[in-house]
């Protein structure tokens, strides 16, 4: 918290050796001849070494230019813009306030000369920014000390109270003492003057000296924060307003840049909010005046429509921008003692906390995942409450009953509530966890049935309730996996039977025995005749009968081919290949059994 003077080499974020600093000093000295204050040159030489190499600046934020914005510029270029920021994102070199009242000069004269700020005023309206330079910059970043930051905020608030001004945030742009007319894009947006100090002029060039845009009154050199606090605290301690660093008037905001109608709407409504203006004539007159400041004014009918809309809102819906959201408690009697009031307030607070906890619990239950068990720890993590609070609500009977469906809001919710009524979190958790077990069981059945060579496993019925949609969905999937596994098992049996039949036919062909061949062909013929008889009874179509006939031919061809392999002597080679495939299949089966 020591804010004594430091050498320029120790000042953070400064560059005394850069070419841009030398150029900025030269620019400031050249503009000193245009400044009405003779101390302007000394002020420039004192301030420039304390500014960062790159500054935020703007040419349009309070002008009639359609596109408004700011950017970072080199020091020698940024200081010549109409608006500039003397601070950086991490260091504060100066504190600034916005003066907007008639007794600004009297307030400034009442401040001691050793801490009197420098102020730049608009020569047309008298609105001004007062800036107090600091001897040592204050770090406001994450690595900054909290002591100097508290002292900085206190000095800032004391200065605002002494000048009856509005705090300007540290990173905002202010009127540049070196801003030039030629760097302004468009024309200034002058709000109605609330002061009596300015020398009125259409452009301001007569009172600023020609090239400078603002009229600068040089104050004290850079000061220490302790000095500011010690001189202002005795008189203005009782007038300290709450910290409003980030709170400013509505009219000080930047209007929309989407179009002229949006900019007109923003400026007029913000002006009405600040002064709580409800008179239609006054609002319409101000809207037409703002429209006259545009390079290309809007049609009169559109301005009248915007003013009428703002007037309707101000008279029908505007509530002053301040709402008392605090809950006011009414006691059971008026003649209660302080202890009795505290007892009733404590009970009321406990009820409110309990209602809040129940609201959080119900909100968490509505989105509870189907496959996640409902436990005290999981519910505490989902609601942000401690486990002790969840434990206190766990066995308690819910006032209206738990009307939360275990699988979310769906068409089966009402049926689920009637079939499984629950009155406490414990009952709900027991029912939900049973469904979770059923879901896990069905998932495991689906996985086991999907394995290669698995025997079909039939799923059972749910433990708790079949009408839970989530459980029903998984149960249907388990049954489908059971049917697929059964189909695959039948195909494996049929393939095995065909392989065995082929080996027997090859052996019969090698021996020259046609008995097995004739038996198989006769059996295939009987099966086809039986299918034909069934088809005639049920009315098969021509395509179905054709399919049955070609199936019969396919079986006959495979039987004859296998027998001919045995007759030709090629069966041994085929049998060895079959044996090798059987060995590989047996090896895969053993591997699946050992590694499920």
Strands in 289-410 per DSSP E:
none
DSSP state of 134: E
Q: Do 366 and 485 belong to one domain?
A: yes
336 within a domain of the structure (yes/no):
no
CA distance 222 to 171: 19
Residue 273 forms part of a structural domain: yes
Structural domain includes residue 339:
no
> Based on the domain organization, do 359 and 431 belong to the same domain?
yes
Question: Is residue 63 within 8 Å of 54, Cβ to Cβ?
Answer: no
Q: 62: helix, coil or strand?
A: coil
Same domain, 237 and 377: no
Find the distance separating the first CA and the last CA of the chain, reported in whole Å: 71
In a domain, 505, yes or no: no
In the chain, how long is the greatest CA-to-CA distance? Answer: 132
| Residue 132 host element (H or E) | strand 128-139
Which residues fall within 8 angstroms of residue 397, CB to CB, at 6 or more apart? 423, 424
pTM of the full structure: 0.43
**383-386-387-393 Cα dihedral, nearest 10 degrees:** -70
Last residue of a domain, one of 297, 316, 335: 316
C-alpha span between 23 and 79 (Å, rounded): 11
Q: Do 350 and 282 belong together in one domain?
A: no
Residues 312 and 461 in one domain: no
C-alpha count within 13 angstroms, C-beta hemisphere, residue 537: 6
C-beta neighbour count of 438 within 10 angstroms: 25
Q: Is 266 in the same domain as 216?
A: no
> Around Cβ 234, how many Cβ atoms within 10 Å?
8
Taking a C-beta distance cutoff of 8 angstroms, is the pair 231, 115 a contact? yes
Write the DSSP assignment of 191-257 as a string of letters: PPP--S-S---SSSHHHHTSSBSSEEE-----B-HHHHHHHHHHHHGGGPPP--TT---GGGSPPPS
Report d(CA 412, CA 130) in Å as an integer: 69
> How far is 162 from 150, CA to CA, in rounded Å?
18
Q: Identify the DSSP state of 456.
A: P
Instruction: pLDDT tens for the chain, 596 residues: list them.
Output: 333 333 333 333 444 445 555 656 666 666 655 566 677 777 887 888 778 888 889 988 888 887 778 888 888 888 889 999 988 888 899 999 988 877 778 888 888 889 999 988 888 877 889 999 998 899 987 788 888 888 898 899 889 888 888 888 888 888 988 888 888 888 887 655 444 444 444 344 334 446 788 888 888 889 998 898 888 888 887 777 544 443 444 545 666 667 788 889 988 988 888 778 888 888 998 999 888 888 788 999 999 999 999 999 988 888 765 544 445 567 777 778 888 888 888 888 888 888 888 888 888 887 788 778 888 899 898 888 889 988 888 888 765 544 444 434 433 343 344 445 567 888 888 888 888 888 888 888 999 999 888 889 888 888 776 667 778 888 889 999 999 999 999 999 988 888 888 888 888 888 888 888 888 888 888 888 888 888 888 888 888 888 888 888 888 888 888 888 888 877 655 555 556 566 556 656 655 665 54
Map residue 343 onto helix, strand or coil: helix
In a domain, 42, yes or no: yes
Residue of 517, 493, 505, 487 whose CA lies nearest to 566: 505
pLDDT for 11: 38
CA dist 20 and 411 (Å) reads: 72
Burial of 408 (C-beta count, 10 Å sphere; 0-12/13-18/19+): middle
Q: Are residues 280 and 166 in the same domain?
A: no
pLDDT at 242: 46
Q: What is the CB neighbour count within 10 angstroms for residue 149?
A: 15
Full domain range(s) for residue 412: 344-493
Does residue 573 contact residue 514 with C-beta atoms inside 8 Å? no
Q: State the pLDDT at residue 431.
A: 80
**203 and 225 both lie in a single domain:** yes
Give the Å distances, CA to CA, from 272 to 288, 292, 296, 317.
Answer: 14, 18, 24, 13
Q: Which of 349, 3, 341, 355 is nearest to 149 (CA)?
A: 3
**Which of 264, 592, 247, 342 shows the shortest CA–CA distance to 454?**
592
Closest CA to 502 of 427, 557, 428: 557
205 and 279 part of one domain: no
Question: 200 and 51, same structural domain?
Answer: yes
Please name which of 31, 54, 207 lies closest in space to residue 122, comparing C-alpha atoms: 207
pLDDT computed for residue 585 by the predictor: 67
- Residue 265's CATH number: 1.10.340.50
Number of domains in the chain: 4
Together in a domain, 379 and 271: no
Does the residue 333 lie in any domain? no
> Is the distance from CB of 234 to CB of 112 less than 8 angstroms?
no
Kindly state whether residue 503 falls inside one of the protein's structural domains. no
In a domain, 128, yes or no: yes
> Is 243 in the same domain as 265?
no
């Amino acid at each position: 918290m020591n804010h004594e003077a430091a050498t320029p080499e120790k000042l953070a974020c400064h560059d005394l050796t850069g070419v841009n600093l030398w150029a900025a000093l030269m620019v400031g000295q050249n503009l000193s001849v245009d400044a009405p204050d003779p101390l302007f040159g000394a002020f420039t030489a004192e301030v420039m070494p304390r500014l960062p190499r790159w500054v935020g600046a703007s040419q349009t934020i309070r002008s009639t230019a359609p596109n408004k914005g700011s950017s970072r510029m080199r020091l020698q270029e940024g200081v010549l813009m109409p608006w500039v920021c003397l601070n950086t994102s991490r260091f504060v070199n100066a504190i600034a306030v916005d003066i907007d009242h008639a007794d600004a000069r009297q307030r400034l004269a009442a401040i001691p000369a050793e801490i009197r700020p420098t102020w730049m005023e608009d020569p047309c309206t008298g609105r001004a920014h007062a800036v107090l330079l600091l001897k040592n910059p204050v770090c406001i970043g994450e690595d900054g000390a909290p002591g100097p930051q508290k002292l900085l905020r206190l000095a800032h608030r004391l200065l605002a109270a002494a000048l009856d001004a509005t705090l300007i945030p540290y990173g905002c742009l202010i009127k540049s003492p070196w801003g030039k007319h030629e760097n302004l894009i468009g024309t200034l947006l002058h709000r109605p003057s609330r002061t009596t100090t300015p020398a009125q002029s259409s452009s301001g060039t007569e009172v600023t000296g020609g090239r400078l845009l603002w009229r600068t009154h040089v104050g004290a050199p850079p000061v220490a924060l302790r000095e500011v606090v010690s001189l202002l605290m005795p008189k203005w301690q009782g007038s300290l307003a709450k910290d409003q660093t980030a709170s400013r008037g509505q009219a000080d905001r930047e209007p929309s840049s989407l179009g002229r109608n949006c900019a007109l709407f923003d400026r007029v409504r913000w002006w009405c909010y600040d002064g709580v203006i409800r008179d239609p004539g006054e609002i319409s007159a101000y809207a037409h005046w703002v429209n006259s400041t545009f390079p290309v004014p809007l049609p009169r009918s559109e301005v009248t429509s915007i003013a009428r809309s703002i007037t309707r809102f101000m008279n029908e819906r505007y509530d002053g921008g301040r709402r008392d959201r605090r809950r006011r408690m009414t006691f059971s009697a008026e003649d209660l003692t302080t202890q009795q009031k505290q007892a009733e307030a404590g009970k009321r607070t406990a009820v409110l906390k309990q209602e809040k906890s129940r609201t959080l619990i119900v909100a968490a239950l509505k989105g509870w995942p189907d496959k996640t068990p409902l436990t005290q720890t999981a519910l505490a993590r989902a609601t942000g409450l401690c486990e002790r609070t969840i434990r206190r609500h766990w066995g308690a009977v819910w006032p209206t009953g738990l009307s939360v469906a275990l699988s979310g809001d769906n068409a089966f919710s009402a049926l689920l509530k009637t079939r499984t009524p629950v009155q406490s979190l414990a009952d709900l958790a027991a029912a939900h966890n049973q469904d979770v077990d059923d879901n896990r069981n069905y998932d495991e059945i689906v996985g086991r049935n999907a394995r290669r060579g698995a025997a079909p496993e039939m799923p059972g019925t749910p433990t708790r309730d079949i009408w839970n949609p989530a459980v029903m969905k998984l149960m249907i999937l388990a049954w489908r996996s059971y049917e697929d596994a059964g189909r695959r098992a039948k195909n494996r049996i049929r393939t095995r039977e065909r392989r065995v039949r082929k080996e027997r036919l090859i052996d019969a062909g090698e021996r020259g025995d046609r008995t097995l061949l004739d038996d198989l062909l006769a059996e295939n013929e009987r099966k086809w005749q039986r299918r034909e008889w069934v088809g005639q009874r049920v009315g098969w179509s021509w395509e179905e009968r054709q399919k049955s006939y070609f199936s019969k031919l396919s079986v006959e061809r495979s039987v004859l081919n296998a027998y001919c392999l045995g007759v030709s002597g090629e069966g041994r080679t085929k049998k060895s290949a079959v044996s090798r495939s059987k060995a590989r299949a047996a090896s895969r089966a053993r591997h699946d059994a050992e590694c499920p």
